[in-house]
Chain A
Amino acid sequence: MSTATSSAAPPSRPAAGAPPLLSVRDLRVTFTRRGRAPVHAVDGVSFDVRAGEVLGLVGESGSGKSVTSLAVTGLLPRRGAQVSGQALLDGEDLLTMPRSRLAALRGKDVAMVFQDPMTSLNPVVPVGLQITEVLRRHTGASRAAAKEQAVELLGRVGIPDPRRRVREFPHQLSGGMRQRVMIAIAMACSPRLLIADEPTTALDVTIQAQVVELLRELVREQGTAMLLITHDLGVVAGVCDDVTVMYSGRVVERAERRELFARPRHRYTAGLLASVPRLDGPRQERLTPIPGTPRDVLPWSSGCAFAPRCAAADDACLSGDLALVPAGAPGAGAAVASGSGSGHGSSAEEAAAGGHLMRCVHPVPHDQHEEESR
């Protein structure tokens, strides 16, 4: 984490008043299966991503990060997954537009980089062809022109000898190379929104840093908006402008990156930070893991889903639906919404406004945390 922190001069942020490119409001995804209770994988999530900005979506496995990205891009299976809410891309709702319109947008305006470059490239098709087919689909480029562009793209993502590499098959490339190819494919049509779903998870640490650096360069050069899904706080520290922390399908905290790292308010965020080693920490420092697993959850309707794993939990945490409230507000700790559901409606608006929000009855006190970390 610290390696990235040290080099993280945030890209110059656009004016705060700029309208968001992607604006997700009250996104809900429910998986239904015959004979099983429905699973609320994503439960009223709202966030904004602006052009030239990177939003980190952070959480453990099963917190609903990937489902959020798949729902936004319409890639969830139509059967068994109910999606509601809004995902406005430049005012156009991705969730309700016709499938053909969405297919035309995907790859052109919205592109994705997936977690595992080993399986996300077609093993029997040369990598060059996998780039050119996107170009030809969306830009109508001729075969020859697309091939030239593919060579250029591979060069731009730092693949040596791109003219030879375009003819090679995925298995002839290393993991880092393959992820570079994936990024080249995603960036082929200069998308306005790039969704990167755990882009570094399957890679070696050294390669991770290179890939993070590459993504950041591309965002900066092209003014792309990026939604970066990760569980790796080191990656967050390296590239993200804003961070949204998810737990069990809901946003538990959102803040600007520096604010979040300096003053995490939600106990879950604090726990995540405490479980990451720091280069500038004292020697022999012991890491503090979060006890339990993400499966030890409560339904949000009965209180804080994180309560079973939280050291500070008490009965107040289990007294009903919690709202997402400004972290600095007086009396933030006692924000318990009275009626179920009434909480997220208002919080959705606040998510748009920005600022530090959290959903916790007993947030980490400011001063104490500062003493801990400094």
Chain B
Amino acid sequence: MTAIAPPPSSGGPGLAPASALGVVEEGGVSLVRGAVRRLRRDPAAITGAVLVLLFVLVALAAPLLAGYAPGRSMPGSGVTPSSVPGPSPGHPLGLDSSGVDLLTQLVYGARQSLVIGVVSTGLGLAAGMVLGILAGAFGGWVDTLVMRVVDLMLSIPSLLLAISIAAILGQNGTSVMIAIAVAQVPIFARLLRGSMLAQRSADYVLAATSLGLRHRTVVMSHLLPNSLGPVIVQATLVLGTAIIEVAALSYLGLGDANPAVAEWGRLLVRAQPRLESDPHLALLPGACIALTALGFTLLGESLREALDPKGRR
């Protein structure tokens, strides 16, 4: 399942200082413009962007596209133990095994995936950045302590970690978000620390120090903006992984227990007994998961390449 997601990139001097997208505002257009130009020439980037855009649009427009409330089973659905009703005028993709409109479930599943993916990645990014800044800015025993904790977390496979946390916190949306976020923290912490260490010996940091600026200022306004590039790229990639993990958790029965919440992973579980008679029940949500994760991965990878100084010129 995780095969689609690339391994988390190691820290270190991966990206140029110029890659701090978040910081560049007025006047800095050309920093970003070059990257955008390269992205537009890259078919993988366009494919990724289209998939991601499609996913986001569907998630946002779910109530318009679906026509039914999520999780509402149709009266007299005609679901039998051996078959489910196929496409009909009211139900373009037919019903699923519990008599719910499949299109509605898929569309609302996109919304659920987007919300949980974005929120959990946001949480993981925030916590990971705090740890990364602590380790990268202070070094010494703070660094050692933080990095040992991170190593400890990394030694547990991220999905296993998420499963354990979800199992402890209980079956609701919040616990899924927290579980996935915690599993992401070490990735961001390690990446940001490595990136900051690489920048710490840069001339402009020495220059800033020679001007008597406070350590806090040097870290926050000089080190951090220059170290963010790889982290932003990683966040894009991790979003894809997070969506897979949402599905994985609910497939394993650790997702949101509320039946009114549509989830791609749960559709897979329900489709399992009917794999032979109605394979589309599994194939459609599976394709949704795969395509969405693929979109984020393609976009993240091309972003990484576009911002790589070695790829320039």
Contacts and interface: CB of A to CB of B under 8 A. Distances in A.
B27 A172 contact: yes
Given A120-B207, A133-B217, A172-B30, A125 B17 contact: no
Contacts of B209: 75, 106
B204 interface: yes
Nearest to B223: A122
Interface string A116-128: 1001111111100
A123 B225 CA distance: 9
Interface in A176-197: 182, 185-186
B211 A185 contact: yes
Contacts of A120: 203-204, 206-207
Given A123-B18, A123-B204, A124-B226, A112 B210 contact: yes
A169 B31 CA distance: 9
B53 interface: no
B211 A137 contact: yes
A107 interface: yes
B214 A137 contact: yes
Contact of B213 (A105, A133, A169): A133
A362 interface: no
Contacts of A134: 211-213
Given A119-B203, A120-B207, A124-B225, A137 B28 contact: no
Contact of B207 (A108, A114, A171): A114
Contact of A122 (B16, B26, B204): B204
A103 B208 CA distance: 11
A138 B212 CA distance: 8
Interface residues of A, number: 33
A75 B212 contact: no
A186 B31 CA distance: 26
A111 interface: yes
A123 B30 CA distance: 12
Contact of B202 (A75, A105, A119): A119
A167 interface: yes
B4 interface: no
A75 B17 contact: no
Nearest to B201: A77
B221 interface: yes
A182 B27 contact: no
Contact of B31 (A107, A111, A167, A171): A171
Interface in A133-148: 133-134, 137-138
8 smallest beta-carbon distances between A and B, as pairs: A107-B212, A106-B212, A107-B211, A119-B203, A120-B207, A112-B210, A123-B17, A122-B204
Interface of A: 73, 75, 103-108, 111-112, 114, 116, 119-126, 129, 133-134, 137-138, 167-169, 171-172, 182, 185-186
Given A120-B203, A134-B211, 8 more contacts: A75-B210, A105-B212, A119-B204, A120-B207, A122-B17, A124-B28, A125-B222, A133-B221
